[in-house]
Amino acid sequence: MHFKMKFLLPAALLAASVGAASAATCEAVVESNDAMKYNVSEIAIDKSCKKFTVTLKHVGKQPKAAMGHNWVLTKAADQAGVNADGIKAGAGKDYLPAGDARVIAATKLIGGGETTSVSFDTSKLKSGEKYVFFCSFPGHSGLMKGTIKF
């Protein structure tokens, strides 16, 4: 029994890790902080993913009203317009225009210590189009912006 277990366990672990490596990861974790930054500048979305989930963590301590962060996905060409309209929409709307078709996905706005996530259908993304993610809190998207690799 002891002899058998010694050899079975490593084989099972190896099989599990190989399986995990070959399957596409259809999620990403993005950290944001009190220095107005995300910890990633590019997110790769594998075309085999039907749905993709982004989890946003605010690892800082500042409250939402002072250093709020969200994660908003739009076409690169729509980013400036959505950002401007979001600022007009105000804090009560998480700085996003309500029901705006240009917003492909967005988390709620969070403050320090909070975590949130959003899932979206990758069928909304088209090959060859350029997509970006950014924080729509006023003044943040200059530093808090990245690209989607799809």
The footprint of Co ion (CB under 5 A) covers 69, 135, 137, 140
Question: CB-based contacts of 5: which residues, under 8 Å, 6+ apart?
Answer: none
Residue of minimal Cβ distance to Co ion: 135
Smallest distance from Co ion to CB 135, Å: 3
Smallest distance from Co ion to CB 117, Å: 16
Nearest residue (CB) to Co ion, 104 versus 144: 144
At 74, give phi and psi (nearest 5°): -140, 170
Distance CA 5, CA 49 (A): 36
104 with 134: CB under 8 angstroms? no
Nearest residue (CB) to Co ion, 134 versus 150: 134
Smallest distance from Co ion to CB 99, Å: 22
Question: CB-based contacts of 142: which residues, under 8 Å, 6+ apart?
Answer: none
Nearest residue (CB) to Co ion, 64 versus 125: 64
25 with 17: CB under 8 angstroms? no
Nearest residue (CB) to Co ion, 106 versus 125: 106
